[in-house]
Structure 1
């Protein structure tokens, strides 16, 4: 029976964790573990989480001695994962009760390295609002960079595939998931589950959204550039890939053609007919 490792990187989100916990203990699939790494939270997150999980041996919590950021913390989660399949879950979000079962079924049916689903956008109280519209079935090639975003949560991957990569970049503060997606997709096929399995909570939590988005945009551009270099791509659509990263605009301009209707139509045909 396949073991599933749910990986949680926490920083000051303990107040939302009860919903996350409840969604895990009610899963229809039973062989799972939860690895939690707290990134030196400055609130009472650790006390809240430890009080909730203390009677449940399926949950383990570890601590960073200082605040190291998302990339370092998510990479550290993998150090403790013992399952054949892994997926990240944010402590302020939750899963549908059949998320693990439906995901594992896809791995049992097809030779894939990863699977991803739609996600449900929710308000601060985790009340469902609408399905995130950007998630689509992708055509995976060396020129796929998930830009514009075509998939996000719920992303599940084989641990053995992750170990073939260099792993999540520990220096990243944002665009960490994008770094993971692109590295995993270089090693095999991915399956799209066309229904929401992930509940994504929308809230500010005191973060300046504008400055955060700008930082994430910059980090994503760096991730894309690193991916281009790793894949040995020197030109894209007859434009030269810069040897050294200088700014995000230069990278995004290389990918403008991927937003064109013709490009999307061609990819849709390739996906439909499995070309």
Structure 2
């Protein structure tokens, strides 16, 4: 296996109490060529002290601090600016990786250098990181300009080539929600992903989660705006014979454009295309 350095990018805000699980999942990886870039986004708890104590003198971990809270998008964007790996991967500080997550992801790049990214399944956990159920939405996708990850099919654990990321506009620093969705869509505009049909990511559900509980509606609105911006960036004029609005008005208008992708016939067509693609690659 070609040795590829992976940069694990961690944006933290008030999640220090959960960081030990994140840390332990990294030091127990079966693949050892990695670094972890951590940026604390002006936490108001004792996150920085906790993280410093946990990472101690381990040179693989590099901790930076925002003097004020800049938001998820700005902080995740900064993480990439400090990273030196060939492959980037975001890991939330309240989540964790399966021991073989990095090894299996790197293996895909070694198998096929043409891919731009990898993604896998994730398991939803309780506040103590006890697995509850595998998220059922994650599926192999057929990448086209009309794929918007709505409904969600690409989830964690998502890794991507740094060289591909640098071809994009980068993470939107003004986003405070739907940051990952925005990233996925930008990466897919420059190459195809490889689906690892295994659970590689522990996703913790708790009241502080940025995309959970009270924030769900805000995340839905943010995702709609991300989809609209993607449509404009891709220079699309219509979706399924419906005209894309010249100006963003509301989330309902955007989601209604994609309702056809929920139909049985559309999903069947995608399955057939994936099957034919698999046969042609044999």
Same fold (TM over 0.5): yes
Which of these residues, 30, 33, 39, is aligned with residue 31 of structure 1?
33
Please, which runs of 5 or more residues in structure 1 have no aligned partner?
A: none
Q: Which residue of 2 aligns with 1:192?
A: 195
Asked if the contact 2:26/2:97 (under 8 Å) is kept, the reply is yes
Q: Which residue of 1 aligns with 2:180?
A: 177
CA-atom RMSD in angstroms: 1.2
Q: Which residue of 2 aligns with 1:250?
A: 253
CA–CA distance in 1 between the matches of 2:214 and 2:207? 12
Q: Cα distance, 1:211 vs. partner? A: 3.6
Q: Cα distance, 1:209 vs. partner? A: 4.8
Q: Per the alignment, do residues 206 and 130 of structure 1 end up closer, same or farther by CA in structure 2, a change over 3 Å counting?
A: closer
Q: Which residue of 1 aligns with 2:62?
A: 60
- Superposed CA offset, 1:204-251 (max 9, x none): 138795541111011000000000000010100111101111100000
CA–CA distance in 2 between the matches of 1:211 and 1:33? 33
Q: Which residue of 2 aligns with 1:20?
A: 22
Please state whether the residue corresponding to 1:145 is helix, strand or coil.
Answer: coil
CA–CA distance in 1 between the matches of 2:211 and 2:22? 24
Superposed counterparts of 1:114-153, under 5 Å: 114-153=117-156
Matched, 1:270 2:270: no
Q: Cα distance, 1:173 vs. partner? A: 0.6
Q: Cα distance, 1:55 vs. partner? A: 1.7
Please state whether the residue corresponding to 1:273 is helix, strand or coil.
Answer: helix
Please state whether the residue corresponding to 1:6 is helix, strand or coil.
Answer: strand
Runs of 4+ in structure 1 deviating by more than 4 angstroms, as ranges, are 206-210
Q: Per the alignment, do residues 229 and 189 of structure 1 end up closer, same or farther by CA in structure 2, a change over 3 Å counting?
A: same
CA–CA distance in 1 between the matches of 2:210 and 2:122? 22
TM-score, normalisation: structure 2 = 0.95
CA–CA distance in 2 between the matches of 1:116 and 1:159? 15
Which of these residues, 159, 170, 174, is aligned with residue 167 of structure 1?
170
Please, which runs of 5 or more residues in structure 2 have no aligned partner?
A: none
Q: Which residue of 2 aligns with 1:8?
A: 10
Alignment length (residue pairs): 275
